Copies of this chain bind each other. A is one copy, B any other.
């Protein structure tokens, strides 16, 4: 096979540019024009089966792989979608990425990922960079402000927001109904008989947090009295913030996310507060560390991977069809497990756990 293609065996001294096999080389080897090679490879037009065979074997022979940049330029699209996330070490986002990645692959696209490191001012430039190298962009939980989002989405470049709805603007977005979910949580607590509840709040700039808080208006109807305690987003934050709460009268705590709640839980265990006997604890996200953490946390399941999938599909529609501006919501589920129970009627004691 190799002997009738002497070019292959001659390996020229590694030049500055790596030796690249182009579509013209393939054409020459197969005795056809580059146009025909393109047609065979993309199946865009009928070609004589005999020619096609020659082309295919030349491709294999030479190890030809089309240059993605050239294709992108000629086709006017890159075959790539971009995703911006605030923080890769937050387990939330890789799960979303996983969903996006799966969708991208089924549509034959590659996935570019950028991380803003939770810095709203960095986001702008990163999105610009994504826009000039991707057919569409997915913005996950963008921290930037309303006006910047409005500005970025007004360019005619497909953009989908994940996990953030900008009120007043109809931007294609996919998110979860946090208000509804938190209302479910409140309903659950009310039903168990809780009255005084603390909420360990998330980052101030977070839309997801303000949505959760919004639900508390409705919660008043359930007869709940909810104290919002500034907290943060990590388990450390929960660990620190819970101290003050314990001195109050609350019988249930819900956290902005599971990490916070688990951090708080760890602290409470240290202090000898029993869960759920002394205190009901509810998380948010369901980051499924149950088996690992030994605590079956009652929490709200955010379908992270599905969020990525839905976002990816919405973006795909936007890129091909062109119209899809209706915000959508992924469904959530309250997972009642071992950390929520009816409040005790007798006052709480600080007993050591064992």
Contact = CB atoms under 8 A, between A and B. Distances in A.
Interface of A: 14, 17-19, 63, 65-70, 72-73, 76, 78-80, 88-89, 91, 93-95, 97-98, 101, 110-115, 128-133, 155-157, 235-236, 239, 259, 262-263, 265-266, 269, 289, 291-295, 305, 353-354
A88 B98 contact: yes
Contact of A289 (B72, B98, B293, B305): B293
A88 B78 contact: no
A110 B88 contact: no
Contact of A128 (B65, B73, B95): B65
Nearest to A70: B73
Contact of A114 (B14, B18, B76, B101): B101
21 contacts: A65-B131, A66-B132, A67-B73, A68-B69, A68-B72, A68-B133, A72-B72, A73-B73, A88-B98, A89-B98, A91-B91, A91-B94, A98-B115, A110-B114, A235-B291, A235-B292, A239-B291, A262-B291, A266-B294, A293-B293, A294-B295
Nearest to A110: B112
A5 B8 CA distance: 54
A73 B291 CA distance: 50
A114 B88 CA distance: 15
Contacts of A68: 69, 72, 78, 132-133
